[in-house]
Copies of this chain bind each other. A is one copy, B any other.
Amino acid sequence: MTRYEEVASVLRERIEHGLYRVGDRLPSIRAVCQELDVSISTAQEAYRQLMDASLIESRPKSGYFVLPRQVPLVLPSVSRPARRPLDISQWDQVLELVAATQRDDTRLLLGRGVPNLAYDTLKPLSKILSGLHRSNDLNGFNYDKLNGSPELRQQVARLATASGCLLHPDDIIITTGCQEALAISLRTLTQPGDVVAVDSPSFYGTMQILKANGLKALEIPTDPQTGISLEALELALEQWPIRAIQVTPTYNNPIGYTMPEARKRALFQLAQRFDVAIIEDDIYGDLAFTHPRPRTVKSFDKDGRVLLCSGFSKTVGPGLRVGWLAPGRYSDLALHMKYVSTGASATLPQLAVAEFVAKGYYERHLRYAIRQYQRQRDIMISWVQRYFPRGSGISYPQGSFLLWVELPAAVDCVSLNERLVKHAIYVAPGSLFSASGKYRQCLRLNYAFTLTPAIERAVRTVGELASEMVREARQHEVEET
């Protein structure tokens, strides 16, 4: 972090903790310089950053003031999904999202879960790959080990310590993306017809695995700040024959919460009491705005019942398809599932990522990307506050690059997307994230983009069309009465 970013971060925290309240005047540039022992230009740059993020404004000749947050930072207090196991639907919508690619789609895909791939800190990976291919004796075209390259598994084990996990390289299976880790985990634990408890809303990719395997989703109410409701989960475990609990407890996709450590521990204990396995999706876990990064549920795992799924798709790049799975006590069966799924994973991407991590490039890239994402989160939030209909709820993630917005009930985001077609913009409608098509008034936005004026215009267009829908609904109500 540069010095001015540190200063901005200190001030931001004070605002977030209410030390400076809405409308308060902030300390003068000079006061900040003295207190934090920085130069005037550093303090000025920090204030400029906070203005960019719409956290403060400057009033001529008066100083800097804390701006009101116009909307609550959280979503409906707790989601209210159906109370019984459901078959999954929504594949058509998911297909529309995942079939779109940045490479050949002329639309602006505001809703995709792809990191920023334009940062220079990624370039060493290209160089490593290029070198591997140049120097190679063609043995890189041969199979790697079924459970993955030893070099990469060693680096993964090392990285996992940051989340409180002590894994041996042999506890890890390299997969073809985190998607394969999730698919293997579910196939390892379940038979068709089984019930799987999931946080709700929930990542559509996992939901579609349930669908493909004939599993039923029991969506558990989820708090947008603390995650899956343990009370509701306990009731569900008493009532239904749940085979596995699938959660994304850190920088949840889509709604952004991170379960507090105590609740992660309690989740593990609950699973232990009911003797059920946990599939933990930690794909966003390394993108922490705080240090150290949050612990995983796996870090509390005493008896191998947590299958931890992660990978490098959200940090390094999804097109490499390098994921991993720590399957705990299910390792034999999981390895069989890995074999029948795709055999060994591709050799060269594994070697390249291993070198990228071993040489410190990964952590350097992560530090840079995180800084950008944190800044961009605030900018994107300020745009949503400015352009979206009044009353829209917005998440406030402490990591990753996904924002969850809840619009007024009158807005159906599937229809919104249809209106956006002629503007060549695409958002991810909330119904993707539900077994039963709920959350239609919600959408997911990606703030990993380099936030250009064109993106701002797009967010504004989304907001305007949503407002139009709100007005139409109101008009309709008036006409009805």
Contacts and interface: CB of A to CB of B under 8 A. Distances in A.
B317 A176 contact: no
A418 B342 CA distance: 28
Given A118-B138, A133-B126, A342 B321 contact: yes
A146 B179 contact: no
Interface in A80-133: 91, 94-95, 98-99, 101-104, 114, 117-118, 122-123, 125-127, 129-131, 133
Contacts of A145: 99, 101, 103-104
A103 B125 CA distance: 23
A101 B142 contact: yes
A368 interface: no
Interface string A333-354: 0011101111111111100000
Interface residues on A, range: 35 or more
Interface class of chain A by DSSP: helix
B342 A177 contact: yes
Contacts of A344: 98, 101, 318-319, 321
Contact of A319 (B122, B134, B347): B347
A98 B343 contact: yes
A64 to B, nearest CB: 37
A191 interface: yes
The residue in A147, A175, A343 that gathers the most chain B C-beta atoms within 10 A of its C-beta is A343
A320 interface: yes
B138 A103 contact: no
A446 to B, nearest CB: 13
Interface in A131-159: 131, 133-134, 136-147, 150
B319 A348 contact: yes
B117 A336 contact: no
Contacts of A180: 341-342
A134 B339 CA distance: 32
The 6 closest A-B pairs by CB, nearest first: A141-B317, A319-B347, A130-B133, A129-B133, A321-B346, A212-B340
